[in-house]
Chain A
Amino acid sequence: SQTIHQWPATLVQPVGSPLSLECTVEGTSNPNLYWYRQAAGRGLQLLFYSVGIGQISSEVPQNLSASRPQDRQFILSSKKLLLSDSGFYLCAWRSGTTGNTIYFGEGSWLTVV
């Protein structure tokens, strides 16, 4: 069966420090991968999605970047965190074939102080 792992679960980082959140999927190949941010009162905002290795689409201009160095690995990064980067970050995956459900990781709470 397929599983998705996301870490770390919680993170407290000072302003200006770097960030790396990692997500891996097991039990499938060539998944579509997603990073979302859930900020209080603002629902789920799509940050990045990827349909293959090295293919990253950014949805909103921001202080973050994403990379997909391997088929089932998706990394969310920042060189210098801002206070506004605080939030709950969710990784998700979906089979590359149409008509399939999206599954979410457990999420990562980031607090920038």
Chain B
Amino acid sequence: AQSVSQHNHHVILSEAASLELGCNYSYGGTVNLFWYVQYPGQHLQLLLKYFSGDPLVKGIKGFEAEFIKSKFSFNLRKPSVQWSDTAEYFCAVIPLSGNTGKLIFGQGTTLQVKP
């Protein structure tokens, strides 16, 4: 079955530390990839997405992610986190076989940034 795995369930960092959140998916075909963020008390928001082209994508608020097809990975990075980055982060995948449009999320990673 298709699945998305986020390795870190809970990450605690100090401000200015670098961040990398892992995401792996299990699907052999072409995919669209997403990272969403949910700040406390707010809706899910799109951070960044990868459809095709340059595997290094840049999103809002200084986030970036790199698609490594050979590793089925789409890790999220930020060089220097801020307290305001405290949130839950979700990786998501759409397998593109057929036209199902099925969107599969990882379990999420809670990021806590200490001031």
Give the Cβ gap from A42 to chain B, nearest Cβ, in Å. Answer: 7
B96 in contact with A98 (CB, 8 Å): yes
A43 in contact with B103 (CB, 8 Å): no
A51 in contact with B96 (CB, 8 Å): no
Question: What is the interface of chain A mostly: helix, strand, loop, or mixed?
Answer: strand
A43 in contact with B99 (CB, 8 Å): no
Binds B, one of A12-20, A68-76, A78-86, A99-107: A99-107
Chain A CB within 8 A of B32 CB: yes
Chain B interface size, under 10 / 10 to 19 / 20 to 34 / 35 or more: 20 to 34
B102 in contact with A49 (CB, 8 Å): yes
Complex Cα spacing A92 to B34, Å:
14
Question: What is the interface of chain B mostly: helix, strand, loop, or mixed?
Answer: loop
Contacts of B49 in A (CB 8 A): 101
Complex Cα spacing A99 to B50, Å:
8
Chain B CB within 8 A of A10 CB: no
Chain A CB within 8 A of B16 CB: no
Known: A36-B105, A43-B105, A46-B104. A51 touches B99 (CB 8 A): yes
Given A32-B103, A99-B32, A104-B44, 10 more pairs with CB closer than 8 A = A43-B106, A44-B90, A49-B102, A57-B100, A94-B103, A98-B99, A99-B51, A102-B92, A102-B103, A104-B43
29 contacts between A and B (CB under 8 A): A32-B101, A36-B105, A42-B107, A43-B6, A43-B105, A43-B107, A43-B108, A44-B108, A46-B102, A46-B103, A49-B103, A51-B100, A51-B101, A57-B100, A59-B102, A92-B103, A94-B94, A96-B99, A96-B101, A98-B99, A99-B32, A99-B51, A99-B52, A101-B49, A102-B46, A102-B92, A102-B94, A104-B44, A106-B43
